[in-house]
């Protein structure tokens, strides 16, 4: 069972990321200094992730929202050093660091969060993930969903 994946300092095309969400047991993901220019919103489906490092990807612009883990627990550690974070949903990471200091990012609006959640639902439908969507949004604008995944080989 794979729990740790570091692609740091490697260059690859974005197909790698499209399939990484199928590793349901993944707890640590480092994409530091990989020259990645796009991370699909499906990354937020990594339900067991506790460490997320996308540092040193200055060409990457990303909105960060809460990951869809089964326990609604935030990510332990995030590293966004030298990466363009367009907005950040409060409470996503227990510790997020930029230049080794805690930092504040522009807060994601409910519209930002809803757009990403809608994209996630569409991704799940497109790839035939099991989808159980409650149309009622919670106070944070998150779409409540039950996430059951199929592993694609």
The answer, yes or no, to whether residue 61 has pLDDT greater than 90, is yes
Residue pair 45/24 in contact (Cβ under 8 Å)? The answer is: no
pTM of model > 0.75: no
Domain that holds residue 96: 4-148
Phi then psi for residue 54, to 5 deg, are -120, 25
Evaluate the CA torsion angle 58, 60, 62, 66 in order and state its sign: negative
**C-alpha separations of 57 from 1, 11, 115 in Å:** 28, 11, 23
122 within domain boundaries? yes
The whole-number average pLDDT for the span 83-88 is 94
153 within domain boundaries? no
Average pLDDT over the chain, rounded to an integer: 74
Query: How many domains does the chain fold into?
Result: 1
Q: Which pLDDT band, with edges at 50, 70 and 90, does 109 fall under?
A: very high
13 within domain boundaries? yes
Could you give the CA distance from residue 87 to residue 105 in angstroms, rounded to a whole number?
A: 6
The whole-number average pLDDT for the span 10-39 is 79
């Amino acid at each position: 069972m794979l729990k740790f994946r570091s692609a740091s300092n490697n260059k690859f095309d974005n197909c790698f990321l499209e399939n990484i969400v199928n590793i349901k047991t993944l707890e640590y993901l480092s994409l530091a200094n990989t020259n990645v220019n796009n991370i699909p919103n499906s990354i937020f489906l990594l339900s067991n992730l506790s460490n997320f490092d996308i540092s040193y990807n200055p060409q990457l612009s990303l909105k960060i929202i809460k990951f869809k883990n089964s326990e609604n627990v935030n990510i332990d550690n995030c590293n966004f050093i030298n990466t363009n974070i367009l907005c950040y949903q409060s409470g996503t990471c227990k510790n997020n660091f930029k230049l080794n200091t805690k930092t504040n990012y522009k807060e994601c609006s409910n519209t930002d969060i809803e757009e990403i959640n809608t994209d996630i639902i569409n991704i799940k439908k497109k790839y035939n993930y099991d989808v159980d969507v409650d149309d009622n949004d919670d106070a944070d604008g998150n779409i409540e969903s039950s996430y059951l995944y199929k592993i694609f080989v």
